[in-house]
Chain A
Amino acid sequence: MPAPLVFIIIPLLAAPMVYGLYRARGWLDVWAAGGVTILLAVFARFMPFAAEPFIQDTFAFWGRAFVLEAIDRETLVNLFVTATLIFLAAGLNRQGRFFLPAGLAVLSFLVAALSVRPFLFAAIFFQIAAALSVFMLADGRLVTTRGALRYLSFATLGVPFILFTGWLLDSYAAQPEEPRWLAQAALTLLIGLFILLGVAPFHSWLPVVAENSPPLATAFVLGVARAPLVLFLVRLLNTYDWLGMNMGVSTLLAAAGVMMIIIGGVFAVSQRNLSRCIGYAALINLGLILLVVGLEREIGAQAALADVMMRGLGIWLWAAGLDTLRRATSGGEVTFAALAGLGWRYPFAVAALAIGVLSFIGAPLMAGFPARWNILQLLAAHNPWLAVLVVAAMLSVGVVVMRGLASMTTPASPDEVIAPQESRWNIVALSAGMLLIVALGAFPQIVLGA
Chain B
Amino acid sequence: MLALIPLGMLLLGAGLMAASLWPRFTALAGAFAITSATLALLGLLVLAWWVPITVTVSDWSSTHLLPGSLQLQVAWEDWVLGVSVLSLMLATLLTGLARPGGRRAAPRAAIFLLTFSSLGAIFAHNLLTVILAWAGFDLIYFFTLILLTRGPGVQPQAVLHLTFNSLGTLLALAASFFAPASFYYALLITLAAVFRMGLFPLHLGWPIEANVRQGLGVLLRLLPATIALDAVANLTGLGFAPDFAPWLTVFGLLTSVLGAAQFWINADARQGLTFVVIALSGLTLLAGVWGGPSARLSVFSLILALVLGGGLVFLAHGYDAQQNWTMLLQGIGVASLVGLPTTVGFFGWQHLLLQLYQAGQPFAWFTFGGVLLTLVLLGGGLWRCIFTVGEPVEGGPIGASGYISGLSFLVLMTLALGLAWNSVAEAFAQPLWGWAALIADGNWVVFAALLLAIGLSVGLWRWEGRFRGSAEGLSGAVQRLFQLNWLYRLGWRLFGFIAILIDNLAQVLEGEGAIVWALVVVFTVFLLFAN
Contact = CB atoms under 8 A, between A and B. Distances in A.
A373 B128 contact: yes
A249 to B, nearest CB: 14
B58 A442 contact: yes
Contacts of A150: 514
Contacts of B59: 445
Contact of A370 (B60, B505, B506): B60
A373 B68 CA distance: 9
B518 A202 contact: yes
A367 to B, nearest CB: 12
B366 to A, nearest CB: 36
A303 B63 CA distance: 11
Interface stretch (B169-177, B288-296, B355-363, B476-484): B169-177
Contacts of A208: 510, 514
B202 interface: no
Contact of B177 (A201, A207, A376): A376
B500 A364 contact: no
A78 B36 CA distance: 41
Given A365-B139, A414-B152, A448-B65, A442 B70 contact: yes
Contacts of A443: 58
B65 A270 contact: no
Contacts of B184: 384
A388 interface: yes
A10 interface: no
B433 to A, nearest CB: 39
Interface string A376-396: 110110001001100100110
Given A387-B177, A443-B58, A444-B60, A402 B135 contact: no
B63 A449 contact: yes
Contact of A374 (B67, B135, B166, B173): B67
Contacts of A303: 65
A207 B58 contact: no
B62 A450 contact: yes
Interface stretch (A127-135, A321-329, A403-411): A403-411
A405 B159 contact: yes
Given A204-B518, A208-B510, A402-B163, A365 B135 contact: yes
A371 interface: yes
A306 interface: yes
A343 interface: yes
A267 B167 contact: no
A302 interface: yes
A445 B166 contact: no
A376 B139 CA distance: 23
Interface in B53-77: 57-60, 62-68, 70
B245 interface: no
- In this complex, the member of A380, A409, A414 whose beta carbon has the largest number of chain B beta carbons within 10 angstroms is A409
A418 B147 contact: yes
B106 to A, nearest CB: 11
B488 interface: no
Interface string A304-332: 00100000000000000000000000000
B176 to A, nearest CB: 8
Interface residues of B, number: 57
- In this complex, the member of B60, B501, B502, B510 whose beta carbon has the largest number of chain A beta carbons within 10 angstroms is B510
Contacts of A427: none
Contact of B146 (A207, A380, A409): A409
Contact of A384 (B68, B152, B178): B178
Interface string A255-276: 0000000000011011110000
A365 B136 CA distance: 7
A406 B59 CA distance: 36
A398 interface: yes
B158 interface: yes
Interface string B129-149: 001101110010001001100
A341 to B, nearest CB: 10
Interface in A202-252: 202-205, 207-208
A413 to B, nearest CB: 12
Contacts of A423: none
A441 interface: yes
A391 B510 contact: no
A363 interface: yes
Contact of B132 (A302, A384, A402, A441): A441
Contacts of A205: 514
Contacts of B160: 406
Interface string B28-70: 0000000000000000000000000000011110111111101
Contacts of B147: 347, 418
B443 interface: no
A371 to B, nearest CB: 7
Contacts, number: 142
Nearest to B145: A409
B159 A377 contact: no
A312 B66 CA distance: 18
A152 B223 CA distance: 52
B444 interface: no
B283 to A, nearest CB: 29
Given A270-B502, A271-B503, A364-B132, A450 B68 contact: no
Contacts of B150: 414
A207 B510 CA distance: 8
Interface residues on A, range: 35 or more
B180 interface: no
Nearest to B146: A409
A302 B67 CA distance: 13
Contacts of A398: 163, 166, 170
A155 to B, nearest CB: 13
Nearest to A410: B155
A267 B511 CA distance: 13
Nearest to A365: B135
Nearest to B164: A402
B521 A409 contact: no
Contacts of A387: 174, 177
Contacts of B174: 387-388, 391
Contacts of B176: 376-377, 380
B509 interface: yes
B169 A364 contact: yes
B25 interface: no
Contacts of B463: none
B531 to A, nearest CB: 12
A374 B66 contact: yes
Contact of B498 (A270, A388, A414): A270
A365 B173 CA distance: 12
B155 A411 contact: yes
Interface string A344-386: 0001000100000000000111000111011011011000100
A201 B518 contact: yes
B397 to A, nearest CB: 34
B158 A409 contact: yes
A399 interface: yes
A183 to B, nearest CB: 12
A90 B368 CA distance: 65
B439 interface: no
A377 B58 contact: no
B84 to A, nearest CB: 25
A409 B155 contact: yes
Contacts of A438: 136, 139
Contact of A444 (B66, B503, B506): B66
The 8 closest A-B pairs by CB, nearest first: A380-B177, A270-B499, A365-B135, A204-B514, A204-B510, A384-B177, A270-B502, A364-B135
Interface of A: 150, 153, 201-205, 207-208, 266-267, 269-272, 302-303, 306, 343, 347, 351, 363-365, 369-371, 373-374, 376-377, 379-380, 384, 387-388, 391, 394-395, 398-399, 402-403, 405-406, 409-411, 414, 418, 438, 441-445, 448-450
20 contacts: A201-B518, A204-B514, A204-B517, A207-B510, A208-B510, A343-B146, A365-B132, A370-B60, A376-B176, A380-B178, A391-B170, A391-B173, A391-B174, A394-B170, A402-B162, A410-B156, A438-B139, A444-B60, A445-B62, A445-B66
